[in-house]
Structure 1
Amino acid sequence: MANSELSFPVVDLFCDPVGLTAALVDIESPSHEEKTIADAIEHALRQLDGVLVDRVGNTVVARTDRGLGQRVILAGHCDTVPIAGNVPSTRGLDDQGRDTLFGCGTVDMKSGLAVYLNAFARLAADPALRYDLTLVCYEGEEVASVYNGLGHVHTQRPELLVGDVALLGEPSGSMIEAGCQGSIRLKVVATGVRAHSARSWLGKNAMHALAPVISNIAAYQATKVLVDDCLYHEGLNIVHCESGVATNTIPDEAWMFVNFRFAPNRSVDQALEHMLEVLDLPEGVRFEVDDAVPGARPGLDRPVVQELIAATGGKVRAKYGWTDVARFSELGIPAVNFGPGDPSFCHKKDEQCPVEMITEVSQVLLDYLRGSTPPAV
């Protein structure tokens, strides 16, 4: 619903989480363009009584302060990958015949954000609430870590991120995905000498200089690692490659991005050392670190996390992709991913989330925060 006096849509945090998901999806918010959705979320949260609301850039933080002894952080990003003709949202049946929401962000992660916003609004003044709550709706998760709003809050307002456990609304198939893998992205660059392809011996082909590195990566066998009873699957891949001047010219520069997703038993330095050992860069080929973030161990032994596991019926698995649980892990706060949606639909044009997953995560979260009896499994 829109208000002609406001420059952003008005969202109802108390409506059904499915409807709230659709409303958030319909507010386009690709990375670096989160102002409108941040304005809408901030406005809605400021209507709640007894709630403290802060804003850092386009990241909105809301907190209860009821002296409940322990604090649960509910965090979710409000940005998406670029729109691909999949906004506004639609509703229909998926290929399994399930009632489903379609659209950019339905999985990653406006459904999780909607569930967390709804739970915060409904429980902020509820006498049954067991823990004080901090809600973080942050910008810039889908791009380089320098833009990450959660990181900005950590740097500028660290007191806002104090808590006993953090839940990330990343898509996890309605179960707990523990920890996360780390990620390093290297830019690997080769230089050569430009020449006419008819006289190629007068030049040096930069693309050819990358050939042994490409072969090393293609031959790499990914490792599966068991960490705290969670199985992580590493991966080393070329994700982007560029070279070329003209169709009759030997290229004098070639470069590629190489991404290593590593299990949380490795530090960033250990992962980089392993990566360079595999790449075995020849003379004349250099690298620079484009992005590097650590992983996070599962942390499933904490009592407050055990209570959430019980509420989900014990459904736990490892998180393969990097998420901001790693940032909380660095702060000494145990964190898990818990949200609706199948992660395999992230970033796809046909991104979709079954309605039943949104409803299930919402109910489990409410039961957990109220201390209700876990649902039967």
Structure 2
Amino acid sequence: MPHELDLSQDAARLTAQLVDVPSVSQQEKALADLVEEALRGLPHLAVDRDGDAVVARTRLGRAERVVLAGHIDTVPIADNLPSRLDGNGLLWGCGTSDMKAGVAVQLRLAATLTAPNRDLTYVFYDAEEIAAEFNGLKRLVERHPEWLAGDFAVLMEPTDGKVEGGCQGTLRIRVETTGRRAHSARSWLGDNAIHKAAPILDRLAAYEPRRVVIDGLEYREGLNAVLVEGGHAGNVIPDSCAVTVNFRFAPDRSEAEALAHAEEVFDDFTVVLTDSAPGALPGLAHPAAAAFVRAIGTEPAPKDAWTDVARFTALGVPAVNYGPGDPKLAHAREEHVAVAAVLEAEERLRGWLTG
């Protein structure tokens, strides 16, 4: 593990250095320490820290403030460390795409943009890859919302170099059945709760998800079983079963509306909400967002996932997703990022913030 981060190297080499510091969710301290130390050595930035989240800000009195945010944690390592660079210009390793390449771009800009055309806030936060209750950005929103104040935010999630507007909402429910427990040798004395779950799966298989166009972007919904729980032993008729269903909903639905729809689908079952987060409308008509899209120069797309842009939206800060790396490679054993994509992202953001 390096003793310090070298912010003078290009963003691709810096990505490799970041990747080689393991930072699985809730084990980010070593990387957060390195990030904090590197940023505190830059006289043009004011630096704050909360837990393993680090925030650095310029204070130039510009008319507009932009927030660049990225999480420093990764999913568990899958035999894909240390990083390696192949002969095709691809950097392989855990977190290359999601999202240490984006974090490297942030750090390069933080080190080198001493007089940007907008004031800048750089947010490096922890625990994005696990349950929302642990999310470092959520903690900052609750404890230090003033650190996140801005006119526009860019979440450096991997987008394959496209601007992705808004994000889906997400909720999880348990759809439950009950029966009567009995010995399987005398099954007629029982009532099999697992068998009674069959209509739940039938409805999910037949469900036709909605597609909706918002600000010219098409969001696709999905309603899917992600977990089935039931049974006690190999000779017991089960008296309970639960199917966990994840509903990814378009951002024109509120959380309450999404839950009402899910309850309607399973109207004759017991439905228990276990987890919910709102989506975020794309907001691409906002002047700052429109200017960003023009500067990046690619056709905007919808975000087919939930991301922390929803937290910025809730704060009243318009936000988009933009970063190097292919989101389809996130969390994969074969996760990698193209060196050219990392350098291009840095170049485009630099042009926007200096032009």
Do they fold alike, i.e. is TM over 0.5? yes
Which of 271, 293, 296 is the matching residue for 2:280?
296
Name the counterpart of 1:117.
Answer: 107
2-side partners of 1:37 and 1:188: how far apart?
40
2-side partners of 1:279 and 1:78: how far apart?
39
3-state DSSP class of the match of 1:344? Answer: helix
3-state DSSP class of the match of 2:273? Answer: strand
1:308 aligned to 2:295? no
CA contact (8 A) 1:213 1:281 kept: no
CA contact (8 A) 2:221 2:250 kept: yes
Deviations along 1:162-212, one digit per CA (max 9) or x if unpaired, are 101000010101010111111111133333333221111222222122221
Name the counterpart of 2:205.
Answer: 218
Which of 262, 267, 273 is the matching residue for 2:254?
267
- Opposite residue 134 of structure 1, the aligned amino acid is T
Report the alpha carbon displacement of residue 252 of structure 1 after superposing the two structures with TM.
2.8
Name the counterpart of 1:186.
Answer: 173
3-state DSSP class of the match of 1:18? Answer: helix
Deviations along 1:125-181, one digit per CA (max 9) or x if unpaired, are 2x3x10111011111111121111111111101110110100001010101011111
Which of 300, 303, 309 is the matching residue for 1:319?
303
1:365 aligned to 2:349? yes
Aligned-residue CA RMSD (Å): 1.4
CA contact (8 A) 1:195 1:250 kept: yes
The residue correspondences of 1:4-19 to structure 2 (distance < 5 A) are 10-19=4-13
CA contact (8 A) 2:263 2:271 kept: no
Report the alpha carbon displacement of residue 309 of structure 1 after superposing the two structures with TM.
1.1
Seq. identity, %: 49
CA contact (8 A) 1:213 1:280 kept: no
Name the counterpart of 2:320.
Answer: 336
CA contact (8 A) 2:175 2:266 kept: no
- Opposite residue 2 of structure 1, the aligned amino acid is P
2-side partners of 1:224 and 1:208: how far apart?
32
Name the counterpart of 1:149.
Answer: 136
3-state DSSP class of the match of 1:280? Answer: coil
Report the alpha carbon displacement of residue 245 of structure 1 after superposing the two structures with TM.
2.2
Report the alpha carbon displacement of residue 258 of structure 1 after superposing the two structures with TM.
0.9
Which of 32, 35, 40 is the matching residue for 2:29?
35
2-side partners of 1:90 and 1:190: how far apart?
49
Which of 159, 171, 174 is the matching residue for 1:172?
159
Which of 188, 191, 197 is the matching residue for 2:184?
197
Deviations along 1:309-338, one digit per CA (max 9) or x if unpaired, are 112214211111010111111111110000
Deviations along 1:219-265, one digit per CA (max 9) or x if unpaired, are 11111110011111111111122222222222233223211111111
Q: Which runs of 5+ in 2 are unaligned?
A: none
Which of 115, 120, 125 is the matching residue for 1:133?
120
2-side partners of 1:220 and 1:181: how far apart?
18
Name the counterpart of 2:331.
Answer: 347
Which of 84, 89, 92 is the matching residue for 2:83?
89
3-state DSSP class of the match of 1:265? Answer: coil
Report the alpha carbon displacement of residue 339 of structure 1 after superposing the two structures with TM.
0.2
1-side partners of 2:263 and 2:86: how far apart?
47
- Opposite residue 328 of structure 1, the aligned amino acid is F
2-side partners of 1:281 and 1:149: how far apart?
38
1:105 aligned to 2:95? yes
3-state DSSP class of the match of 1:45? Answer: helix
CA contact (8 A) 2:165 2:281 kept: yes
Which of 326, 329, 340 is the matching residue for 1:356?
340
Name the counterpart of 1:6.
Answer: none
Compared with structure 1, are the counterparts of its residues 253 and 317 closer, same or farther at alpha carbon in structure 2 (3 Å cutoff)? same
Q: How many residues align?
A: 355
CA contact (8 A) 2:126 2:137 kept: yes
- Opposite residue 49 of structure 1, the aligned amino acid is P
